[in-house]
Structure 1
Amino acid sequence: MNISPYLPLLLLLSLWGSRAQCQPHNAEVVKYNSICVVEAGKFSQIDTIIIQINNRIGEDYTHVAIPYSKTYKISDIDAWITNSAGNRIRSLKSSDITTRSAISNISLYEDDFVKEFQLKHNVYPYQIAYTYKATCKDYIDFTRWTPIIDNRVPTRAAHLTMVVPKNLPMKKYAYNVVHSKVDTTSNGVILQWDACYPNVLKSEIYAKPLDSYFPFVAATPLHFSYGVEGCTHSWQSFGEWQNQLQKGLEVLPEKEKNHIKQLTEGVTDKKEIVKILYHYLQDNTRYINVSIGIGGMKPYPASYVAQNKYGDCKALSNYMRAILRCAGIDSHYVLVNAGNQPSDLIRDFVSSQFNHAIVAVPLEKDTLWLETTSNINPFGYMGTFTQNREALLISENASRIVKIPSLQDSDSFTSRRMKFDLQTDGNASTAISFSFRGRDFELFNQLNSELNTDEQDKIIREYMHFSNYEVKEWLLKKPHRDTARIELHSTLNLYKILKPLAGDYYFGLYPSRIPAFVPVNARKLPVNIPYPICNSDTLIYTIPQGYKVTSNLNGISLKSRFGSYELAFTYSKGELLVAKKVILKPAHYQLEEYPELYRFIQEIKEAEKRAIVLKPEA
């Protein structure tokens, strides 16, 4: 089942003739063709991509980077430029290709590299065509095909051909493809998919990751060998492969074992032992990526972390399990697809769909979930990065899909208390106390721990939602390392907050924190609110002496399937107290439901558009 290496070049014929004219995009993929061939013990894939550059801004895509590694090898790189007449005007030279490490700033070691080059022309439009062959002998997947180079660049036509031996047990999954077919020959099976990405997508607030809307084809063997023999028959069998891959990696040096025993000596409460060891992990190790050989899937040994005091999520989770085991506590390695927006697990396509590892510790009536890569994460806290999604819990002969608990209203509640001392010159001295939980807690906890004072000061001053103000002082305060709450206290001078009105004065209410959803005609993607959005404000306005509030102080209560809003006033002894509370429920809303959600948000905003008028006392 050999495919000629010249076949990708034949696909380039007549492409200029099919080019759409006067395209509004800076660049576009005219053609994206891939041919994947599976043979005994290896697979290869030839990609041929043609990018049309329409203007100078589109030249960002004249830089081509092709990733590879020691196990995923690249060869047969070729590239050229054709002008608008379809004539080849420049070809790639071997000296044009450079090689560099793909090591990131959070990595210590990586086996990942990049071959890159750039071809440019000065007359638009023109096309860059490039082709290369990837070969791999150690693999879990045959292909994970997404024919898109950038979410801002349309793909006009894409085609994937897979050639596999007859009777090869495999699984496949396709999403957002426009056509597929299967042909059987005397030598094997040919599978084909067509796809396109004509309408580019932009990131939107509270939307799932853009790649969840891209065309996607994946194929994986039923049986594979990657470190050890594995099987994708079920999540249990796939988890057992991961379990076997980790065999023997939890052995600790004797010195480390003795230290663990000293730390937990005399402690009988299981949860307290876990907390002691979790703090020990946080205080004595740091996260750094290590990816060598099959390090992308296999953890480094616990002894490595014990000696070097660093590791990636896999290594640190394996080490956490090792020190728990040393203390006589059972735990589980858990694979999860982490991110602020949960990605749906494709349950009926057993495969590697995960990018992160954590630890689960079963207790008598509960389960503790441990994030091992953070030195500042509260004990047992699963934040927005990992909450509310399915994961694969690894257990010998009993691996299974589990659900990581969701953040509740109380876990996400941010409260703000502000006291404004209003003066007739229009200014106000103001004291604020904010208490952050949930996503706000995570951001300010990171700011408090990882940035220097100057960087903190800049961000906090920019965070204040006032139009004309001066920050006098501020203080970030975290009550305890295991409290998932952090406080911000500050004093400010506000200017021109109280405005004159024909002998009277008026001011507007400090606005509630509400997601900035765009108008209905501008929204293009479904809404996904992955955790509760809960905010409350207590606003205390001290009225200038000799003045009184004359505005209507009737409260309001709004309730809908999306959430609720409450606004209440209390006026007494020269003080106006305003209490507000906004709750948006976690849920997924289709695009046709967005107008109703947007109306609810607008009702809240309208409720807050009231001026508080002050008149002189009689």
Structure 2
Amino acid sequence: MRIIPFLVLVFTQLSLLVQLDNKALLLHANEIVESEGQLEIISASEAIYSEKKRIVILNKESKANGFAVFYDPDNKILSLDADIYDLSGTPIRKVRKSEIRDVAAVDGVSIYSENRVQYIELNHSEYPYILEFSYRQKLKGLSFAVGENWYFQDRPSSAVTTSTYEISVPDDLDIQYQLYNMELEPKITHTDAEKVYRWEAKNIPAIKFEPYDVPVHRQLPILRISPNKFEIDKFSGSMQSWQDYGSFLQQLWVGRDQLPGELKTQIRELTADTEDTKEKISRLYRFMQENKRYVSVQLGIGGWQPFTAEYVEERGYGDCKALSNYMKAMLQEIGVESYPVIVYAGEHHPYEVEDDFVDPAFNHAILYVPSEDMWLECTSPINPPGYLGEFTNDRKVLLVTPQGGQLARTPKLGTTENNANEQFTIDLAADGSASLQYEAQLQGIPHEDWRHYQYAYSPKDIEDKIRNMGKLPTLSLSEVNIANDPKLPQNTLTFSATADRYASRAGKRLFVPLNLICPRTYVPDAVENRQYPVMIPYGYTEEATITFLLPEGYKTESLPQSELLETPFGRYETIVTEAEGSVTLQRNYQMYDQEHPAEDYEAFRDFLMTVAKHDASKMVLVSE
């Protein structure tokens, strides 16, 4: 059992007693954290990183009881330790080496990877209790070059009493740094051979969850760093500008675009009968989709350097860089220039790349064809040519050009591009049952799920997804079809169905919900003293025409009024009309992808509440 020095135990115990009484600091907190980190840069290719955390787990809602360290042959873990104590500093139990799990850091699509992770998760039944994690690691290659950013507060639920970070760097090297969501200057000292930067932050309160808030990277205090100069294997690079960093990446792609002669002949044959450049690109893109697949292979410098085009051709697969390089090589064969692009893919509104600070916070590669202003997602087997989708739309990226790195922005999918146009006919019977006919024209983000389902899921899975649409009752489905447009980001979804209980019967009346197919029902909770702006993830338009064929012998007794809402957040309009034997609801709903100040939250919530209220409207039919 490891013994903590007596003075440290006494200090920790007294400190925690004070922390547990600090109501302002602990409001909304699930844990209290003290952290310290140190980065010792030894050369342009190597550093030693160490980190230590003391965490008071306050309740069972805390997710801070786990600690993970990623490593590979170049980035070995030198030490890793963990302990668990009660508030007095008395060890609760000994942490066994067998509790440190060591597993491959697989992602589900990697077939070769040297990346591994050591992970510890500690639990105790009585709260609060104290965890102490510490580790030390050698950094080389990619792990050194990307820099060890420091999170003074690494999760919103943490109340931080003290967090320090120290970086020492030889005089012939230096770092760049940028601090976000906090004002804090480092203390800089000099010795005979090195410069030392030290940041110290204190008393950071936990952050209350707020619906429709901004991304975490705009809330948590983060110190981003990058080395001015670095070396990986035989390659040297600089991060003093995006152009410099792009020049380094360009080195990694040079000479890796050679194609076998047989493939060159095939490329020329595929494109011989058209002079339209975009059509040529589309044909080669579809050729790649039909014959190559995405598989991640992470070995050595492979995190940044693509495998050769010949490698992809021979094996039939590649990762995002390798497939982008393969597509680039095919385009080069027909005289079309293209640039590799690195991007942070995934979430909406990711970390916004800054023009004057180089931080290689990227996780994906795509391709850009400047002559056609065309972006290609080379890992997708189903995207139409030129469509990036939700995964990488509307964000800053780095083009890797022969002249170096150039920042650009991917196209935005907004209110116009993301569209669902639904036609829904409900043929009601006097007992409340109904026959249904549905057709939807979907574009942009709304179409993506259905395109993927048609490609990757069974008919039963598709039917289950339909049954979960809106607030539909139990359906017996037939004639289900998804028709994907091969050239454009759009598709058509159709189905027929019957429902035993679409309307509720009470005596001679039927109570009929007007919109079960696309109702907006979510209304976020009220928030007092909101701190962060209101952010809508993405804009979209929903258009629906819902027609009810009334049972013979029934007429309307009451109908909801038409409604029009025009707000800065979105637009909502319903028009209810009646004809002989039928009632039609026309609905148009638009949500604008904009950011609004925190003080607008209640007005935004009122808009959603009004939409939900009207989407839940019913008409009443009565037998004549």
TM-score (structure 2 length as normaliser)? 0.89
Q: Report how far residue 397 of structure 1 moved.
A: 1.1
For 2:322, the aligned partner's letter is A
Aligned to 2:111: 108
Aligned to 2:189: 184
Instruction: Tell me whether 1:158 sits opposite 2:163 in the alignment.
Output: yes
Cα separation, 2, equivalents of 1:593 and 1:545: 49
Aligned to 2:486: 481
Q: 1:52 aligns with which of 25, 50, 56?
A: 56
- 1:28-427 paired onto structure 2 within 5 Å: 28-41=31-44, 42-54=46-58, 62-88=65-91, 90-92=93-95, 94=97, 97-117=100-120, 124-138=127-141, 139-147=144-152, 152-166=157-171, 168-177=173-182, 179-187=184-192, 188-195=194-201, 198-200=205-207, 202=209, 204=211, 206-227=212-233, 228-343=235-350, 344-363=352-371, 366-427=372-433
Q: Report how far residue 106 of structure 1 moved.
A: 1.5
Cα separation, 2, equivalents of 1:361 and 1:554: 51
Quickly say closer, same or farther: Cα 1:422–1:256, change in 2 above 3 A: same
C-alpha distance after superposition, 1:476-528 (max 9, x if no partner) = 32243223222222223334443456744442311544372403327775333
Cα separation, 2, equivalents of 1:565 and 1:287: 41
Quickly say closer, same or farther: Cα 1:295–1:521, change in 2 above 3 A: same
Cα separation, 1, equivalents of 2:104 and 2:315: 23
Contact 1:8 1:131 in 2 (8 A): no
Contact 1:178 1:193 in 2 (8 A): no
Aligned to 1:15: 12
For 1:397, the aligned partner's letter is Q
**Any idea what SS the aligned residue of 2:81 has?**
strand
**Any idea what SS the aligned residue of 2:327 has?**
helix
Cα separation, 1, equivalents of 2:509 and 2:94: 76
For 1:46, the aligned partner's letter is S
* Segment drifting more, 63-72 vs 602-611: 602-611
* Segment drifting more, 314-323 vs 552-561: 552-561
Quickly say closer, same or farther: Cα 1:303–1:261, change in 2 above 3 A: same
Q: Report how far residue 585 of structure 1 moved.
A: 1.4
Cα separation, 1, equivalents of 2:448 and 2:390: 8
Contact 1:529 1:585 in 2 (8 A): yes
**Any idea what SS the aligned residue of 1:475 has?**
strand
Contact 2:27 2:206 in 1 (8 A): no
Cα separation, 2, equivalents of 1:572 and 1:31: 69
Aligned to 1:3: none
Instruction: Tell me whether 1:428 sits opposite 2:434 in the alignment.
Output: yes
Unaligned runs of 5+ in 2: none
Contact 2:29 2:206 in 1 (8 A): no
Contact 2:53 2:133 in 1 (8 A): yes
Contact 1:393 1:400 in 2 (8 A): yes
What RMSD over aligned residues (CA atoms) do the two structures have, in Å?
3.0
Contact 1:34 1:47 in 2 (8 A): yes
Contact 1:177 1:194 in 2 (8 A): no
* Segment drifting more, 320-329 vs 254-263: 254-263
Aligned to 1:540: 547
Aligned to 1:452: 458
Cα separation, 2, equivalents of 1:10 and 1:48: 17
Quickly say closer, same or farther: Cα 1:231–1:308, change in 2 above 3 A: same
Cα separation, 1, equivalents of 2:438 and 2:6: 66
Aligned to 1:559: 566
Contact 1:539 1:579 in 2 (8 A): yes
C-alpha distance after superposition, 1:317-355 (max 9, x if no partner) = 111101111121111111111124021223321120211
For 2:421, the aligned partner's letter is S
TM-score (structure 1 length as normaliser)? 0.90
Quickly say closer, same or farther: Cα 1:171–1:552, change in 2 above 3 A: same
Q: Report how far residue 565 of structure 1 moved.
A: 1.7
C-alpha distance after superposition, 1:89-110 (max 9, x if no partner) = 5455556545322122111112
Cα separation, 2, equivalents of 1:62 and 1:353: 26
**Any idea what SS the aligned residue of 1:518 has?**
coil
* Segment drifting more, 31-40 vs 15-24: 15-24
For 1:276, the aligned partner's letter is R
- Give the % identical residues: 27
Name the count of aligned residue pairs.
607
For 1:310, the aligned partner's letter is Y
Quickly say closer, same or farther: Cα 1:182–1:261, change in 2 above 3 A: same
* Segment drifting more, 320-329 vs 10-19: 10-19
Cα separation, 2, equivalents of 1:10 and 1:335: 50
Contact 1:103 1:109 in 2 (8 A): no
Quickly say closer, same or farther: Cα 1:87–1:340, change in 2 above 3 A: closer
Contact 1:25 1:54 in 2 (8 A): no
Quickly say closer, same or farther: Cα 1:614–1:125, change in 2 above 3 A: closer
Contact 1:203 1:210 in 2 (8 A): no
Quickly say closer, same or farther: Cα 1:597–1:119, change in 2 above 3 A: closer
